[in-house]
Amino acid sequence: MFHISVVLRRDLPIGPHTAAFAGAVIGPFKTVGRFFEMLVSRSMYPLVTYALSLGLMFSGFVVLLIFGFTLTGLLLAAALYGMGDGIKTIARGTLPLALFGTKGYGARLGWISFVQMGINASAPFAFAWTTQTYGGWWSFAVMALCLCCAIATYMFIPDPRTHRHDPAQNRRLPENI
């Protein structure tokens, strides 16, 4: 997300050094987020860990949209987004296992990754088009809206701990996949 900020320096009131610095903050904070996940969420269910991840990423966008593209706003937004993204990479592997069980785990992860890679590949083009058409602030607002959609979709995921008659081990992939 923030590596594109360097390209946006024409549209936003930040210099290229500030944008690059904010982008460089994300990587270390991914590690901080993973360390935090290791310490705190070891006893958390993966759905809760994923909600924490989405919340941190969304709060990064909110900070960016509220504080604007100031140095403080960029660094705080990059730190929150980086921590959320770091936790998301761990939850991405544990959540399907908790929801669907071990049977067909590799194939299910492949289908999930297939969709994710398609979205990741198209996101820079959509982001660039939104930035060119509507401006930098609106492109970040659209990304925050996409995160809101992810949070809304998250609310529809059933918690298998509450469905005792349908344990995760009994779920399997459809035969025609």
pLDDT at 80 over 90: yes
Contact in structure between 63 and 22 (CB atoms under 8 Å): no
Instruction: Quick: pLDDT tens for 116-146.
Output: 899 889 988 888 888 888 887 788 788 888 8
Instruction: Quick: pLDDT tens for 18-71.
Output: 778 888 889 999 999 999 888 887 778 888 898 899 899 989 988 988 887 788
Residue 164 forms part of a structural domain? no
Rounded distance, CA 167 to CA 96, Å? 13
Residue 111 forms part of a structural domain? yes
| Cα 148 → chain centroid | 11
Contact in structure between 26 and 19 (CB atoms under 8 Å): no
CA distances from 68 to 57, 73, 96, 103, 153 (A): 16, 6, 36, 47, 28
* pTM: predicted TM-score of the whole model, two decimal places: 0.74
Rounded distance, CA 48 to CA 25, Å? 25
| 171 or 60, higher pLDDT | 60
| 71 or 81, higher pLDDT | 81
Residue 167 forms part of a structural domain? no
Residue 149 forms part of a structural domain? yes
Assign residue 68 a region (left: φ > 0; alpha: ψ between -120 and 50; beta: otherwise). left
Residue 77 forms part of a structural domain? yes
Total domains present in the chain: 1
Rounded distance, CA 70 to CA 63, Å? 11
93 is in which domain, residue-wise?
Answer: 2-158
